[in-house]
Structure formats: C-alpha cells, structure tokens
Chain A
Amino acid sequence: MAVQLGTTSGHDVLAPEPTAGARPWAWIGRSRWVTAGLVLFAVFVFIAIFGSTLAPYDPSAISSAVLQPPSAAHLLGTTQTGQDVLSQLLVGAASTLEIGFAAGAIATALAIIVGVSAGYFAGSGGELLSLLSNIFLVIPGLPLLIVLTSYVPHASTWVIAVVLSVVGWAWGARVLRAQTLALRQQDFVQAAKAAGESNFRIILFEILPNEVAIVATNAVFAVVGAISFYVAIVFLGFGNINTWSWGTMLYFAENNEAITSGAWWWYVPPGIAVALILLALIMLNFGIDEFINPRLRAAGIGRRELRAASREQGITPVRANRPNVTPVPVGADTVTSRRRAR
C-alpha cells in the first residue's frame, strides 16, 4: 500500500518510484539493515517456537555439574543448581516473545482506539480521552507495573501482557491523536462527512490508512517496550518466576551472586538475547517505514546507487563522458566567484 503522509507537492514527477510494479519486494534485499533485522527476527521466532524441542536438557533439571563454565556437555555452562543455561535460554525465548508481542498488540489496539477517537471527536469526549492518555503518560511506568503485578502474583501470561500494555499504550495514543487532528481538517475527510459516511467508516477507511506508518512504528516500539519492561519486572522478582524467561534467568543469576562469583555465562547470554531481539525489531522498523512510504524507499536506494555519480542531494547527476559537450573557455566560473565577492 502506497500511503503517503503529508500533502503531496506539485513536483511528483521529480520522485518517481524506481522498480515500481515489477518486483515490489525487490528493495528489501538492497537494504542491509532490513535484511539483517529480518534474519535476526526470524531466528528468534524460530527459537521461540521450537525452543523447548531444541533444548538439550530440561531447563529446571538439577544436576551435580554445578556452576560449570561453557563446555561440550553444556554449551553455555550451568547454574549454581546445575541447570543448563542454553536450555533455559532456548525455552525462555517463548514466554519473553509471547508476552512482548501480546502486550505490544494490546497496547497498539488501545492506542488506536483512544488516540484516534480523541483526535477525531472534538469536544468534551475527545478532551477526556486526551486527558486520560496524558495521565498515563506522566505516571512512571515501572513503579506502576510493580504495583499492578504485586496485586496479581503468579499471574498467567495474558494477565501480565494486559498489565504491560496498560503502561505502554499512552505514547502511541498521543501521537495518533496529533496526526488525526491534522487529518480531520483535510478536504477528503470533510468530503466523506458531507457524503454522509458514518464516523466509524471515516475513521477506518479515510483516516487510519493514512496513519499506517505511525501505527506500525508504534507497534514495534510497543513490543520493544513490553519486552524490556517484562524482563525488568521479572528480574526484579515481581513477575512469575516459575515460568522460564530471560528475565527469570537474570533474576536467578542475580540472586545467586553470579556476578561476584564470575559466572558470566549465566547472565551474559540472556542479556545479549534481549539486546539482539530489540535490535532486530528496531531494524525491522526501518523496513516497515520504507515499505509504507515509497519516498523513503527511493531515497534509500538511490543514495547508495548513485553515490558515485552525485554526492550532493538536489543536484541532478550527469553521466560521465556524456556526448555532445560544447567546449567552454577555461576559467569562466572564476568570473562568477569574483562577481560574488563584490
């Protein structure tokens, strides 16, 4: 879908879409960022789905090999109770990603519902919704999370996801409200109103398609926020420590003084895993941006391809050794520079 934000200028002819139509997905391979993000993301999804079958040991099984550094038997070493770190990492991916994506989806849905309505419906209703999102914006997230999770100890995955999304929806709502306020004034929305379309239809088919880029970006960042908050609350011991997740691993590592005993193989892998999944998501976000906004795509590809021809933006490249050049007396441009000094 080629949705463009903002008004189109009168110079569309200047920004034609390269490789349009022929292979709409061809551009993906050209952006190293997006390719890396996709690969990394696919790896994590694979681990999340097949982690428990791939795991060499039961992550909770206690053995006599206590606090072993990485070896052939235990690729990432063992914990203080002899549990296999690799197995914990593989099994823990599922709940971390599951909760991250569920919370991201709920937060995005909340943001769309509250944000778009707050922007679209003028008057006290909209103001009230706007006030609500402002209140959630100023409430510090982590303390609220701690309070909420301590009311529901050992809660199911879904309860935690809902709690996380309650903390994470307000930014998206705020941004969507601003964009909706701008779109509401546009002629095509006024025309739809005049044509008697229902508010629901206008929001769904006139306004939302113009906000796809913002919604997508928000969704990605909601997932990023949910994963990091989930890891944080579990690490602090407020989550469900009976489910294996990367936060749980960090929690046990911290409680058993892995850092002071130098057992780096215990806390570094989950930390890197969290960092990598967040990195993959952010790199994917570049790809989503370019996919939704063809203008970015043209700029991104063009810059790399034509770097040799023209380093400057806004200067039409000229083919090297072009034919039919009219010879010009040398030094004429010094006239211009001299005149300029005047």
Chain B
Amino acid sequence: MSAPAAPKGPRTAAGQPVLEIRDLCVDYGRGTQAVHAVIDTDLTLRRGEVVGLAGESGSGKSTLAYGATRLLRQPAIITSGSVLFRPDAERPDLAIDILDASPAVLRSLRWRDVAIVFQSAMNSLNPVLTVQAQLTDTLAAHLSHVGKSERRERAAELLKLVSISTDRLRSFPHELSGGMKQRVMIAMALALEPQVVIMDEPTTALDVVTQRQILEQVMELRDQLGFSVLFITHDLSLLLEMADTIAIMYAGRIVESAPAQRLFRAPRHPYTAALLNSFPSLHGERKVMTGIPGSPPDLRKLPEGCSFQPRCRYALPRCAQQVPELTGPAIATDAHRLVACWLHEERELPDELAAPEPDGQSRRLVGSAPVPAAPESPGGPR
C-alpha cells in the first residue's frame, strides 16, 4: 500500500486540533482492586489526520478511545483529565469538554461528530434487520427532518461510497461477506459525515487482501470527506502504511508518539524499538527476531517509576523511581515527536535509540532541555 495520498478536497484548517485528550485516567472498579487501564494520557487528533494507536493487548488502547467518548459501562470510571472536542473548524477556540457534557449533548455529539467503527462487524450488525433498515435507522434518529425517501437515497449513496452495489440494501447481514459487513459498518459510521471516526481494529478478522482494500477505501474517503481517524490496532506495520502519526501505548500510558515514518526509522523509546524489532521486514535482510523478555505488568499494581522499566534493557536506577513525562526528546527536529523515557536526559543514548531522523536533519543534542512540545508549524501532519 502506498503512503497516504496528499490531502485534497474540503480539508479546511487542516492541522487544527479537533479532539484533544488531556491527562485522561480511566479505572475499572474502585479502591485497591481498581485496574488503572489508562493513566495520564495525552493525545491530540488534528483535522484530517490519521492517528494510529498501537500497543499489545490490554495496554489500554480501546479503553482510551471508548473512555474519551464515554462509551464504557460501569465499573469503568474516568478519574481525571479532559477530552476537548472542537466542533467548529472556523472557530478553533471553541471547545466542549466531553467529560462535562450532558447526556443530551453527548447523544447529539456521538455519531454526528464522533463516529465509531467497532471491533467486529459480525457482532455489531443486527442479524434480523436489513442493511437498509440499519442505515436509515441512524439517519432517522439523528436527522428527524429528513424524509423517508431521502433517507433511503442516502443509504444507497452510503453503500456506493464504500463500493457495495445498492441492490445489497435489502440484504440481511448474513448474506454479506465479512469484508462487506465491515464496509457497511464503515458506511454507517460515515452516515452523518462525522469529523472524527474512531476505528477499533476494524480489519482484524479479515484477510490481508480485503484488509488492504478496505483501508485504501478509508483513506480515499478521508481525503474526500476530510474526517480525522483514530485508528486502534496491534498491527504496527499496518499503521506504518496508513497513519500520519503513531502513538505507542504500554500499560495504560502513551510512551511514544511520532509521525509514522519517523517512528519507524528512528524509534526513541526502548519499547517502540523492541516492538519494531519483533516483526520481520519483507525487504530487509534475514535476521533473528528478538521478542521482549518478560510480560506486561499487572495494571492493579504497577511498578514504581516507568512501567516498562522491569523489561527494559537500558533501565537506569532513576527509571524505578520516577515516572517519565511524555515530552519532546533530546534528539528531535520534529516538534510532533513525544517520548516518555529518562534515557533522553542522559549524556549517552544507546545506538538503537539514536538513529538519525529519516529526513537526515537530525542532530544530537546531548543532555539539553527538551524541545517544546507545542507544534510551531501548523502546516499539517504530513
């Protein structure tokens, strides 16, 4: 798959934040048995951008996305932070804190502004209703003033958008293939032209050919309609192909976030580096793969300091005491890169974490103050 196409179409004010997650903490349960699934997480989604969220199972990817949209059921509880949604591209100063939103505001926000493609299309479609009934139902719920025949037309339009012939409108979900079901789910998510689409492993159950078709289609639609995507997956190589920015999660925290190619060529966090070392390259030379020793921590009893520290081969004494902040690293020419690792405060970095940036402009700043995290060039995520 080629790198994402250059933005075109109605992508006004590209690069302005549309969804900002700040210091979000989500727990399951309370008291000493509470599972801290997401801890002090920051993530910014800009207009028209595809942000990939990667990490192993149980690292909090889905909890982060569902927590930010307040879709989690009890005993999940949000204990800290804000989720700012900026509804208007022309007025970027206006924001709604989703965590303070009333049920009514939340209900109108969901689907219309923030849509979600859930993990398995097989279980998300109602087996006893036709595709048309399910598509028009969404429209009827959110656009009550639109007439019945218009809704039907829109449903047909949506199917065309995802390359399904309109005679499938009368099909039941079991009459569609897995890939078609997934496309219907995507069409449903796009029904109200949302500004943000959250995709939670939308292609996990599909084979790579279908996966590729669907993802290319998503990217095309993104260019056409200009929505932003938060893409959750544990398939890092997939993200390298399609995401603008990739955020790596480990044990409830984002440990590194950087533009896709930079993250791939020059990982700055030991976990990212180890993750990249765990899957083979199709083109590169043959080499022995190394896994990451140990296993993820118990989210009820996180280790002191950096949660990756017990498995980290470069761990310093400091790592076991203080939690590193997600900030700009010492080596950085790109303000969009953030990493949470104490190694970047050291004089010497391990070679693995000191690869030059892919554009060759890297310089080695030893022990200097971190580069400011705020983007200075609002020129877009490219």
Query: Which residues of A does B touch, CB under 8 Å?
Result: 7, 9-11, 13-16, 18, 298, 302, 305-306, 309-319, 322-326, 328-329, 332-333, 335-337, 339-340
With A328-B96, A329-B94 in contact, do A310 and B74 touch (Cβ < 8 Å)?
A: yes
Chain A residues with CB under 8 A of B118: 10-11
Most B CB atoms within 10 A — which of A311, A317, A323?
A: A317
Q: Kindly state the separation between the CA atoms of A333 and B120 in the bound complex, as whole angstroms.
A: 32
A182 to chain B, nearest CB (A): 12
A318:B108 contact, CB within 8 angstroms:
no
B295 to chain A, nearest CB (A): 18
A25 to chain B, nearest CB (A): 18
B101:A14 contact, CB within 8 angstroms:
no
A167 to chain B, nearest CB (A): 34
A342 to chain B, nearest CB (A): 10
Q: Kindly state the separation between the CA atoms of A339 and B66 in the bound complex, as whole angstroms.
A: 25
Q: Kindly state the separation between the CA atoms of A243 and B318 in the bound complex, as whole angstroms.
A: 84
Pick the contact of B82: A18, A302, A324 (CB < 8 A).
A324
A-B contact pairs, 19 of them (CB 8 A): A14-B71, A15-B73, A16-B28, A18-B29, A302-B74, A315-B70, A315-B103, A325-B99, A328-B84, A328-B95, A332-B95, A333-B96, A335-B88, A336-B87, A336-B96, A336-B113, A337-B105, A337-B108, A339-B88
Q: Which 7 A-B pairs have the closest CB atoms?
A: A324-B23, A10-B120, A326-B82, A10-B119, A302-B74, A316-B70, A316-B72
Chain B residues with CB under 8 A of A336: 87, 96, 105, 108-109, 113
Q: Kindly state the separation between the CA atoms of A57 and B336 in the bound complex, as whole angstroms.
A: 90
B47 to chain A, nearest CB (A): 16
Chain B residues with CB under 8 A of A10: 118-120, 123-124
A315 to chain B, nearest CB (A): 5
B87:A324 contact, CB within 8 angstroms:
no
Pick the contact of A328: B76, B97, B119 (CB < 8 A).
B97
Query: Which residues of B does A touch, CB under 8 Å?
Result: 20, 22-23, 26, 28-29, 40, 62-63, 66-67, 70-82, 84, 87-88, 91, 93-97, 99-103, 105-106, 108-109, 112-113, 118-120, 123-124
Q: Kindly state the separation between the CA atoms of A319 and B76 in the bound complex, as whole angstroms.
A: 10
Residue of B nearest to A317 (CB): B77
B105:A317 contact, CB within 8 angstroms:
no
A8 to chain B, nearest CB (A): 8
B76:A316 contact, CB within 8 angstroms:
yes
Pick the contact of B79: A7, A15, A310, A322 (CB < 8 A).
A322
Pick the contact of A335: B20, B66, B87, B119 (CB < 8 A).
B87
With A318-B78, A324-B80 in contact, do A329 and B93 touch (Cβ < 8 Å)?
A: yes
B112 to chain A, nearest CB (A): 7
Q: Kindly state the separation between the CA atoms of A310 and B88 in the bound complex, as whole angstroms.
A: 28
B29:A335 contact, CB within 8 angstroms:
no
Chain A residues with CB under 8 A of B74: 298, 302, 305-306, 309-310, 316-317
A316:B73 contact, CB within 8 angstroms:
yes
Chain A residues with CB under 8 A of B71: 14, 314, 316
Q: Kindly state the separation between the CA atoms of A310 and B106 in the bound complex, as whole angstroms.
A: 13
Pick the contact of B77: A11, A316, A337 (CB < 8 A).
A316
Q: Kindly state the separation between the CA atoms of A316 and B124 in the bound complex, as whole angstroms.
A: 20
A326:B22 contact, CB within 8 angstroms:
yes
A312 to chain B, nearest CB (A): 5
With A329-B94, A339-B87 in contact, do A16 and B105 touch (Cβ < 8 Å)?
A: no
Chain B residues with CB under 8 A of A328: 82, 84, 95-97, 100
With A329-B93, A329-B94, A336-B105 in contact, do A318 and B77 touch (Cβ < 8 Å)?
A: yes
B103:A323 contact, CB within 8 angstroms:
no
B120:A316 contact, CB within 8 angstroms:
no
Chain B residues with CB under 8 A of A311: 103
Q: Kindly state the separation between the CA atoms of A18 and B84 in the bound complex, as whole angstroms.
A: 30
Chain B residues with CB under 8 A of A7: 123
Q: Kindly state the separation between the CA atoms of A302 and B76 in the bound complex, as whole angstroms.
A: 10
A73 to chain B, nearest CB (A): 57
Q: Kindly state the separation between the CA atoms of A302 and B74 in the bound complex, as whole angstroms.
A: 6
Chain A residues with CB under 8 A of B105: 333, 336-337
Chain B residues with CB under 8 A of A314: 71, 73
Q: Assuming A302-B74, A318-B100, A336-B87, what are 10 further A-B pairs, CB within 8 angstroms?
A: A11-B119, A14-B66, A14-B71, A298-B75, A305-B74, A316-B70, A316-B77, A324-B22, A324-B81, A326-B84
Chain B residues with CB under 8 A of A313: 73
Chain B residues with CB under 8 A of A340: 108, 112
Q: Kindly state the separation between the CA atoms of A16 and B73 in the bound complex, as whole angstroms.
A: 9
Chain B residues with CB under 8 A of A11: 118-119
B280 to chain A, nearest CB (A): 28
Q: Kindly state the separation between the CA atoms of A13 and B88 in the bound complex, as whole angstroms.
A: 33
Pick the contact of A309: B22, B77, B119, B123 (CB < 8 A).
B77
Chain B residues with CB under 8 A of A329: 93-95
Q: Kindly state the separation between the CA atoms of A93 and B321 in the bound complex, as whole angstroms.
A: 69
Chain B residues with CB under 8 A of A298: 74-75
With A319-B80, A325-B82 in contact, do A335 and B91 touch (Cβ < 8 Å)?
A: yes
A65 to chain B, nearest CB (A): 60
A294 to chain B, nearest CB (A): 13
Pick the contact of B123: A9, A15, A305, A316 (CB < 8 A).
A9
A316:B67 contact, CB within 8 angstroms:
yes
A34 to chain B, nearest CB (A): 20
Chain B residues with CB under 8 A of A14: 66, 71-73, 76
Chain A residues with CB under 8 A of B112: 340
Chain A residues with CB under 8 A of B72: 14, 316
Residue of A nearest to B106 (CB): A315
B303 to chain A, nearest CB (A): 23
B87:A13 contact, CB within 8 angstroms:
no
Q: Kindly state the separation between the CA atoms of A306 and B27 in the bound complex, as whole angstroms.
A: 14
Chain B residues with CB under 8 A of A335: 87-88, 91, 94
Residue of B nearest to A15 (CB): B73
With A14-B66, A18-B29, A18-B75 in contact, do A322 and B80 touch (Cβ < 8 Å)?
A: yes
Q: Kindly state the separation between the CA atoms of A326 and B96 in the bound complex, as whole angstroms.
A: 10
Q: Kindly state the separation between the CA atoms of A9 and B94 in the bound complex, as whole angstroms.
A: 37
With A324-B23, A333-B101, A335-B94 in contact, do A319 and B29 touch (Cβ < 8 Å)?
A: no
Q: Kindly state the separation between the CA atoms of A337 and B101 in the bound complex, as whole angstroms.
A: 12
A14 to chain B, nearest CB (A): 5
Q: Kindly state the separation between the CA atoms of A319 and B27 in the bound complex, as whole angstroms.
A: 10
Chain A residues with CB under 8 A of B91: 335
Q: Kindly state the separation between the CA atoms of A333 and B96 in the bound complex, as whole angstroms.
A: 6
Q: Kindly state the separation between the CA atoms of A335 and B40 in the bound complex, as whole angstroms.
A: 29
